[in-house]
Structure 1
Amino acid sequence: MTASSENLFSTESSAAPIGIIAMNSVTELGGKIDSFLVEWAKRAGYDVDSFLIECECPRFSSGDGKGFIKSTVRGKDLFIIVDVGNYNIKYDYFGHQNAMSPDDHFQDLKRIIQAASGKAHRISVIMPILYGGRQHRRNYRESLDCACALQELEAMGVSNIVTVDAHDPRVQNAVPLMGFDNVMPTYQVLKAMLKDIKDINLSKENFMIVSPDEGALNRNMYYASVLGVEMGMFYKRRDFSTIVNGRNPIVAHEYLGNPVEGKDIFVADDIISSGESMLDLAYALKEKKAGRIFAYATYAIFTNGLDKFDKAYEDGIIDGVFGTNLTYRTPELLSRPWFHDVDVSKYIAYFIEAINHDVSISKIIDPHTKIENLLIKYGMK
């Protein structure tokens, strides 16, 4: 960027006044993002208390819903933030409390876009975890949920999509004429690791990156490149003769790469779902005499609970798991000694301000210089 994000308000003209709609799935994250934007605006001499615009998506007892916005959005550069993975939001359905699914959250997003009635100057959607993002390609006769969802948003007038660590960023090919930014919070993760793990040594002799599979190779290659350390990888050997829970089961994880003996290992992926694959890798690495093992997932959702990770931590198999605040984390997860929360709210605020002022986001997307300075600060360079 041509200027630091803190003084963009005063150095560049904005496209239109900012308006932020934080859906009920991201009230905490939306509040943090708003606080950064308000602070920067006040430094630039603007008298503003909040950029947040209230909205609501109530339900009828039959399950039908509607969306409405509680103040004007006319002429606003509107940013709608949503977490389609937040299953903690519930609504009344025929007398039962029904947990919102990704489908429900996506429908509510469309309701709010409709409620804006085309009056906003521009609409950008910040959807950290992409709706349908895990169903990103077609095998045999299957739907392409994410591609269709993106096309639907484009048809509704959305100008930009900002997502974080997309399962497969090539899904943007479905909307080649719409803005699509896939953000990688590499700097925030390394900053949290160096802050929380006091004795970590990121030198080539003591530290190594391991990719959990070929799909995560690019994100792990970036970590290895900026840190100047070696990298190995696992590949999943699957049984293609059967299908379990919609996919071919993994028979074994096979390791390729340099020896891991005595080295601290960092494994990065986009999502920890059940967590079984991550634990299988940790046990396999320990068999190869690896040192401490730290896992990272942008979305640490733990669909099968935390018990197995508790045991792995107690047994010294895994030493820490890092995850961002971009999706819902249970209070139980946040209380675990092995879990480290990575705050990405300031990073998203940078993006909002850069888009609003129509300036380059290249330095936000590639934080190489910031990582270099971070390593120097901690004596790693």
Structure 2
Amino acid sequence: MNKAATVTEQIKPFDVMAVRQDFPILHQQVNGHPLVYLDNGATTQKPQAVIDALVEFYSTYNSNVHRGAHSLSDKATEKFENARITLAEFINAPESREVIWTRGTTEGVNLVAYSWGRQNLKAGDRVLVSMMEHHSNIVPWQLVAAEKGATVEPIPVTQLGEIDQDAYAAMLDDRVKMVSFGQVSNALGSINPVKEMADKAHQVGALVMVDGAQGVGHWMADVQALGCDFYAFSGHKLFGPTGIGALWGRAELLESMPPWHGGGEMIENVSFAGTTFNRIPFKFEAGTPNIADAIGLAAAINYLNGLDKAGAIAHEEALMQRVQERADAFEGLRLVGCARNRVCVMSFILEGIHSADIGMLLDQQGIAVRTGSHCAQPVMEHLGLDGTVRASFSFYNTFEEIDRLFAGLEKAKTFLL
């Protein structure tokens, strides 16, 4: 995993039990057992601060933004646009106007594929996506490429679960117009070398789109350091609400791209003789936005900014080390994806047992994991699998929960074999 602190820094022990008190959902029983939530790759849980922000909005200043002529609208507009600034600072965007509100990562990729892709792709052009991509970073490109006569080509992945960098370099030429890949694999946990890959793409004149859904919740979203051209992520992967996310893009690219959706807010003037469009980011934000959840996402970011960041990262690394040790010692367990650089995700199979059965038996013990292909069928097929069990961890997970997981797996193995 990436190190946020240098070896010379003194990292205080991370008080995970105190942090857990901020997340009300963690303190319940499921099927008669204390909940062990290990499905953070699918969605993260929400601190009370986020819940409170949503309640405050709907209880005290619920109103539409930008067009109102009253105090509630003024307050909602201020909070909404301040949320954009908060998010821009969190991802180190040069300007807040480069941040476009979306419903999530999927909509962000679609926006770029349809707006930029329809304008710029032509017959014979190539779009490269890695073989480990989530379907949301494959299908939009396929749809637009088919319309424009371009091709979408997979970048190979090694058996370790890493993008094959030699193969990638060999694929690059001046026909490649876009390279789109995930910062972190949702199925395997692999951290991809974004800056290195972006630099290579830019050398042949290609742009780079990064799916940041799995990276943003691990303090990895610095768009200037990454060197990409577009970065999309979902708020619910960042301890915020569902149904909200953002696309960051370089201002000069966004300004040159046509609108995607038409309607209110994204216009400057409308007449039957012709319509002119608003400036960015509003050009891409048609209709009433998801005001409450944008404010809720800002509350999540403010909460994260108040944590011991270095301690949280160190805690996740310690969790990963414990997971690796327990997995290595567990007979019949095979890790899927052993990239040298990865987040705290354990994707695995138990020999002779279907992943769905494991997930069901773990759930009966109050342990929440993910099973199946994880919306990443191409890489599963490449690895000769129909799916895995995925346990994905966050800073509020504990060593005791890891022990619960492996005790649950032992019971599942005893019952099913």
TM-score by length of 1: 0.32
TM-score by length of 2: 0.29
Q: Relative to total residues, which structure has the larger helix share, 1 or 2?
A: 2
- The structure showing larger relative contact order (alpha-carbon pairs under 8 Å, at least 6 residues apart) is 2
